[in-house]
Amino acid sequence: MFNGKIKYDFHKLFIIVSNVRRLRNDFIFWHIRDIILNKGDIMQVIDIKHYANEIRANIEKVIIGKTTEINLVLSALFAQGHVLLDDVPGTGKTMFAKALAKSFDCDFGRIQFTPDLLPTDLTGINYFNPKTNEFVFRKGALFTNILLADEINRATPRTQSGLLESMEEKQITIDGVTHPLAAPYFVIATQNPVETQGTYPLPEAQLDRFLIRLSLGYPSTRETNDILNRFLWNRPLEEIKPVCQASKLLDIQEAVNKIFIHDELLNYIVELTEKTRTSNKVILGVSTRGALALAKLCRAYASLCGRAFVLPDDIQLLLPYVYSHRIIRRGGTEGDTGELLKGIINDTKVPSENYEGS
């Protein structure tokens, strides 16, 4: 799968294991021991980090000061999920999506969602061809590898629902015939939370299809100066070239599935999920799909960090991005969803392992 171009000194790795064991960090010890027994996995993880660094550097030729957000989006892509960018106008959502798409040698499609957009514009339609006297299937805009759904909340719920099957099952069914979508398939959607007139809020079923929701936010003063200097004299978006082949992206996604997550950490995710359902401030908690999404994202994020294993810190860091749009708060409760999730994390015991039994 990966050629393992980067060499690794396994003698030093054994020394690291011994030092880590003395520190009694059992999560790390267990997984490093597992890596040594299967050297191919460590080479895969190193290669994933290498490619992630190249892709991130390519995107940062256009997007300035958003390393954390880029890592989150790459993690979602490597986990075979989808991303919703929810932010005010002018923060670079669409440019971010384009820079990401141009970093991969994949088919790219953009849909500008409008109130008059129809579901068949997305999925495709069977039309009658009088020359051949038969119906012919014309593919819609969803038949691509990386799809930018720009201002998704400006389309009607009927049109928004055209994305459901493609995002979850990577296929589209038209007139009883199922058409598989080419892999990889990734949807990155944008929406504006401040202009609500003429928009249609995404229903919970649609929001649940997005692995993460995040905002880019405004850049700092220094970053704004850098943006002005870069874009006044150049066109960086037109200059970036692909740095990752589609086949390599598929290899990365397959390798991420081998990242280990301990049973205790799975129990930790389950406990956190159940607390979102039992809170008196919540009407609708996180579904099973949400819990699975968090576990998948943690594995992808660990690979970006050069690890073949998931840590509790990964879960705590990523949980708000996965769970915030999957929760419906009870009316009249104070605070925001972020504070609610932070409280749940703080009130939940972090698991630890002790293989020596003491």
Q: What is the pTM of this model?
A: 0.84
Which tokens is 33 given? Answer: 């021991």
Is there a domain that residue 324 lies in? yes
DSSP 201-232: PPPHHHHTT-SEEE---PPPHHHHHHHHHHHH
Is there a domain that residue 358 lies in? no
pLDDT confidence tier of residue 129, bands split at 50, 70 and 90: confident
Is there a domain that residue 172 lies in? yes
Query: 112: domain CATH number?
Result: 3.40.50.300
What's the average model confidence in pLDDT over 220-233?
A: 92
Above 50 in pLDDT, residue 232?
yes
Is there a domain that residue 189 lies in? yes
pLDDT higher at 237 or 24: 237
Is there a domain that residue 41 lies in? yes
Q: Given the structure tokens 């719920």, which residue do they identify?
A: 157
Give the whole-angstrom CA distance, residue 351 versus residue 13. 25
pLDDT confidence tier of residue 143, bands split at 50, 70 and 90: very high
pLDDT tens per residue, range 63-85: 999 999 999 999 999 999 999 99
Quote the DSSP letter at residue 326: G
Give the whole-angstrom CA distance, residue 75 versus residue 201. 26
Are the CB atoms for 285 and 273 separated by under 8 Å? yes
Name residues whose C-beta falls within 8 Å of residue 346's C-beta, 6 or more positions apart in sequence: none
Q: Quote the domain boundaries for residue 299.
A: 16-347
Are the CB atoms for 210 and 189 separated by under 8 Å? yes
Could you tell me whether strands 171-174 and 177-180 are parallel, antiparallel, or unpaired per DSSP bridges?
Answer: antiparallel
Phi, psi of 174 (to 5 degrees): -125, 120
* Residue 201 confidence (pLDDT): 87
* Residue 21 confidence (pLDDT): 43
pLDDT confidence tier of residue 24, bands split at 50, 70 and 90: very low
* Residue 318 confidence (pLDDT): 97
Other beta carbons less than 10 A from residue 33's beta carbon: 15
Domain count, the chain: 1
Give the whole-angstrom CA distance, residue 146 versus residue 194. 26
Is there a domain that residue 20 lies in? yes
Give the whole-angstrom CA distance, residue 78 versus residue 156. 30
Quote the DSSP letter at residue 335: S
Is there a domain that residue 11 lies in? no
Quote the DSSP letter at residue 182: P
Is there a domain that residue 222 lies in? yes
Angle at 274 between CA 271 and CA 275, to 5 degrees: 90
Other beta carbons less than 10 A from residue 95's beta carbon: 16
Above 70 in pLDDT, residue 320?
yes
Name the β-bridge partners of 284: 328
Of 298, 294, 303, the residue nearest 313 (C-alpha): 298
Above 50 in pLDDT, residue 358?
no
Which tokens is 67 given? Answer: 């390393």
